[in-house]
């Protein structure tokens, strides 16, 4: 069997301990349950691509009650609009802010509540959402009516990796996420 590097070995040990249940349970049932969970994780290792392997481990964690749909949705919302370079360095340092209520969302759009609206020196809007994301208007044109704190903003994926922001009945405008 190949030797695991320390971070991977530590992560596997943490998952195994979490799936094993509370300490002090020595019944045959908990041992069988722990063994079944470990076998489920081992089966995930046989997956050939990263995406299916990760989905498999997530399913095992959900079945064990350690990963909730709400937590996954919160993480997905936090990453919406960021590219891979922006997500990686900030993921560990990002504060855990409460999320705005969600009416509807998909991988193509998200609805957020606005915390603040400011104007940049070039007169473009800078919108900060209640969950800490900052969206900046990228095209130079007046947006009427101007958004205000408490408004709901819909952000949609557009062509070529761009995004369209719309507040209420206002005209949609191109925007990009800065953090």
Examine residue 160 and state whether it is found in any structural domain, yes or no. Answer: yes
Examine residue 104 and state whether it is found in any structural domain, yes or no. Answer: no
Examine residue 83 and state whether it is found in any structural domain, yes or no. Answer: no
What does pTM read for this prediction? Answer: 0.48
Q: What is the pLDDT of residue 15?
A: 57
Examine residue 155 and state whether it is found in any structural domain, yes or no. Answer: yes
Q: Is 106 a residue whose pLDDT tops 80?
A: no
Examine residue 100 and state whether it is found in any structural domain, yes or no. Answer: no
Q: What is the pLDDT of residue 99?
A: 47
Q: What is the pLDDT of residue 163?
A: 92
Question: Which domain, by its residues, includes 63?
Answer: 6-67
Residue at a domain's end among 67, 86, 117: 67
168 and 116 in a common domain = yes
10 and 62 in a common domain = yes
Examine residue 94 and state whether it is found in any structural domain, yes or no. Answer: no
Residues whose CB falls within 8 Å of the CB of residue 154, separated by 6 or more in sequence, listed in order = 109, 110, 111, 165, 166, 167
Structure tokens at 76: 């997905």
If you write DSSP's letter for every residue of 86-111 in order, what string do you get? HHHHHHTT---PPPPP-S---SSEEE
Examine residue 59 and state whether it is found in any structural domain, yes or no. Answer: yes
174: which strand partners? 164
Examine residue 117 and state whether it is found in any structural domain, yes or no. Answer: yes
Domain count, the chain: 2
Q: What is the pLDDT of residue 27?
A: 47
């Amino acid at each position: 069997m190949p030797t695991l590097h320390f971070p991977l070995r530590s992560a596997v040990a943490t998952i195994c301990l979490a799936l094993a249940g509370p300490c002090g349970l020595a019944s045959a049932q908990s041992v069988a349950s722990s063994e079944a969970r470990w076998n489920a994780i081992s089966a995930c290792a046989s997956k050939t691509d990263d995406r299916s392997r990760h989905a498999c481990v997530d399913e095992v964690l959900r079945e064990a009650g350690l990963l909730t749909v709400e937590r996954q949705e919160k993480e997905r919302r936090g990453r919406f609009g960021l590219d891979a370079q922006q997500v990686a360095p900030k993921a560990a340092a990002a504060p855990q802010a409460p999320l705005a209520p969600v009416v509807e969302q998909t991988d193509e759009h998200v609805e957020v509540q606005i915390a603040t609206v400011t104007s940049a020196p070039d007169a473009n809007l800078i919108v900060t959402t209640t969950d800490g994301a900052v969206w900046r208007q990228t095209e130079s044109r007046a947006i009427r009516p101007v958004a205000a704190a408490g408004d709901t903003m819909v952000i949609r994926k557009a062509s070529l990796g761009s995004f369209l922001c719309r507040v209420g009945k206002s005209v949609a405008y191109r925007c990009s996420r800065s953090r």
